[in-house]
Amino acid sequence: MRAFLSPLLRSSVGFDHVDRLLDSLSADESAPTYPPYNIEKIGEDDYRITMAIAGFAPEDVDVTEQEHVLYVRGKARDEKAAASYLHRGIARRAFERRFELADTIKVVDAKLENGLLVVDLKREIPEAQRPRKIAIQRVEPATRQAA
């Protein structure tokens, strides 16, 4: 059961009730690990996904939201043969990461800076689904008239 749920929960944003389950599950050894990423809750309704994609330019990366799934894809351009590497430790292989988003999570912004792709997300709850305070009226008992 753990192997089935771990990949699903690890790439979900906005399902706060699942956070405790996510923390209790160990990492699935068969899940892809490239590129590494973090998911942060940075405010009451704000989230951030940060991916380490050193060597990629903004035009090499595609961030798409479709049917409550955030797709992050990267494909490195072919380099010119001018470089002769003695050691090549920066992986520039193609990748695709998928993040399941709750219905109320919207992608706000994406930026690439210093080799980190940062995708900001925000929970937007429609007015009809927000809790609404109901005022309680005080009804004074009717005064009895003596007959």
Specify if 1 maps to a domain.
no
- With H, G, I as helix, E, B as strand and everything else as coil, classify residue 83: coil
Residues 1 and 5: their CA atoms lie apart, in Å, by 6
Specify if 18 maps to a domain.
no
Q: What's residue 126's pLDDT?
A: 80
Residues 2 and 26: their CA atoms lie apart, in Å, by 8
Number of domains in the chain: 1
Specify if 57 maps to a domain.
yes
Q: For the whole model, what pTM was predicted?
A: 0.66
Give the count of beta carbons closer than 10 Å to the beta carbon of residue 51. Answer: 22
Q: For the chain, which residues score pLDDT lower than 50?
A: 1-2, 20-21, 24, 27
Residues 24 and 79: their CA atoms lie apart, in Å, by 43
Specify if 140 maps to a domain.
no
Q: Which range marks the domain in which residue 60 is found?
A: 32-126
Specify if 112 maps to a domain.
yes
Per-residue pLDDT tens over the stretch 94-128? 999 999 999 889 999 999 999 999 999 999 888 88
Residue 78 sits in a domain of what CATH number?
2.60.40.790
